[in-house]
Structure 1
Amino acid sequence: MNTNIQEMTCKSIELDGFGSAADDAWFDQHTAPMDGEEETGVHPHQAAALKAYLKGDSKPSETAAALTKPHDSEKKTDLRDRIVGILEDALFELPQSHTPALVDLLKELSQLPDEEDGEPVWKGLKSFGHSWADGWKQSHWRKALATRDPATRAKRREAHVHQAFVEASCAMAAPGPNAEDGLLPLSWGYECISEALECQDALWDFEVPAAAVWIKVAGERLREGAKKGEKSWALEREGGFGRRGR
């Protein structure tokens, strides 16, 4: 690596915590206070509930109830942000064997009826989608990758493909009639495949395996959507799959 190249900031390609085990140390690191901030991290009872769930000792409904149990006078939205934060980290950092259980828990949370100030707290878990997009869907990731040590490329590729598995799994957990439904939008699958096939700047060793994951997890739903003319900006951008020229 050219040491004169300044690294470009981009969370989408970072490896912080990736490949961690769901052990006591991991849960301790995600329990408030994190980095000295009481507002960051989950409460001890929430960490314990999630740990028990990932061990198979409780059901999604039981875990969702434990996670969302009121804590002192804390606002429901603040409590939600703590939960979304640890689940987002768990989805990225912990082994893929935990992904199905984590997605099931997210689906359970997304169906809770709680409201605050007349607004839904959990319905559809839009805050999760927004948070995930802010962190893991940064458009300059290819340029940022070029500023990283080539020796880390294989590990970053593994993380990139894992992200695709998480996103596809979330999209298929609660699919709806259009491409923007789901815990995460199905349209990201169209985008991933379109970029791998058509983008002149595509990093094939990253994007082809990621597209393959989307096809494996959500291929039938994506094909159905494309055939019926489903509205998705990723499809409309190129007029459908198969048109090159970017």
Structure 2
Amino acid sequence: MLDAWFSNKLAPDGDVKDGCHPDEAEALKKYLRHEITAEEAAHAISRPIENSSNPGEDLPRLWDLLIDALLELPLDNTKRLITLIQTIENLPEPDMTAVEEGKRPAHGKLWRGLPGFGHLYADIHQSTDWREEALEAEATERRRLREYHIRKAKIEAQLVAEGLAGIPIDWGYETVTDALERKDALLDVEIPAAAEWLSIAGARFWE
């Protein structure tokens, strides 16, 4: 499965122009296979961005790869992926004085605060009409949407618990209150999602 997944990320729909950098894919693959450490993987996966003439434009490509990995790969990879993302955030900032100002990343930082990660995640995964989709879906698609929504809550709660990627704890509050208060709540989906938030980030809620 891992090889097929990476092949798709390198050339979505067969188009290499839309894919991630080969060095990013290779670094992530070796890391998930326990062939290199988180520190080694962080340096290898970040190198194409640091060497780019337009790091601000290329950075979302890396975030997209990592976000897809969190939501699509088997769950036993999640802890290692969170560790890798945390290690990337702690990388030393490269000298970008030679890069045109308009091509630098937001706020002039590449890694500290994972600039743009949370915004990209929200653009891809924060849907406002998912309940309508679930209600209209056939049984197989409904199960897929249920699994996706619960997994999404698990990933978001872990990122919040680790203070990573700018994912707001408000998403957790909304998940819990929606499950408890909305008249149109889909209980088979929203109760397990709320449980993930409470189990993983309950201490943060209490704080």
AA aligned opposite 2:180: L
Q: Is contact 1:27-1:47 (8 Å) kept?
A: yes
Task: State yes or no: 1:161 paired with 2:150.
Answer: yes
Indicate the percent of aligned positions where both proteins have the same amino acid: 36
1:67 pairs with one of 45, 48, 70: 45
Which runs of 5 or more residues in structure 1 are unaligned?
1-20, 176-181, 225-246
Q: Counterparts of 2:173 and 2:67 in 1: how far apart (Å)?
A: 22
Task: State yes or no: 1:186 paired with 2:169.
Answer: yes
Q: Using structure 1 for the length normalisation, give the TM-score.
A: 0.73
Provide the secondary structure at the position in 2 that maps to 1:70. Answer: helix
Q: 1:81 maps to what in 2?
A: 60
Q: Counterparts of 2:71 and 2:19 in 1: how far apart (Å)?
A: 16
Shift of 1:78: 3.3
Shift of 1:196: 0.7
Greater share of residues in helix: 2
Q: Is contact 2:60-2:120 (8 Å) kept?
A: no
* CA RMSD across the alignment: 2.0
Q: Is contact 1:107-1:174 (8 Å) kept?
A: no
Q: 2:9 maps to what in 1?
A: 30
Q: Note closer, same or farther for the CA distance 1:65–1:187 as it changes in structure 2 (3 Å cut).
A: same
Task: State yes or no: 1:203 paired with 2:186.
Answer: yes
Shift of 1:73: 4.6
Q: 1:51 maps to what in 2?
A: 29
* Aligned length, in residue pairs: 196
Q: Is contact 2:24-2:48 (8 Å) kept?
A: no
Shift of 1:40: 2.1
2:114 pairs with one of 88, 110, 125: 125
AA aligned opposite 2:140: A
Q: Is contact 2:109-2:115 (8 Å) kept?
A: no
Which runs of 5 or more residues in structure 2 are unaligned?
none
Q: 1:238 maps to what in 2?
A: none
2:18 pairs with one of 10, 35, 40: 40
Shift of 1:37: 4.3
104-113 or 157-166, which moves further after superposition? Answer: 104-113
Q: 2:72 maps to what in 1?
A: 93
> Could you say which structure has the greater relative contact order, defined with CA pairs below 8 angstroms and 6 or more residues apart?
1
Q: Note closer, same or farther for the CA distance 1:35–1:77 as it changes in structure 2 (3 Å cut).
A: farther
Q: Note closer, same or farther for the CA distance 1:187–1:133 as it changes in structure 2 (3 Å cut).
A: same
Task: State yes or no: 1:144 paired with 2:133.
Answer: yes
When Rg is computed on C-alpha atoms for both structures, the one with the higher figure is 1
Shift of 1:74: 4.1
Q: Counterparts of 1:26 and 1:88 in 2: how far apart (Å)?
A: 13
Q: Counterparts of 1:138 and 1:124 in 2: how far apart (Å)?
A: 24
Q: 1:10 maps to what in 2?
A: none
AA aligned opposite 1:162: R
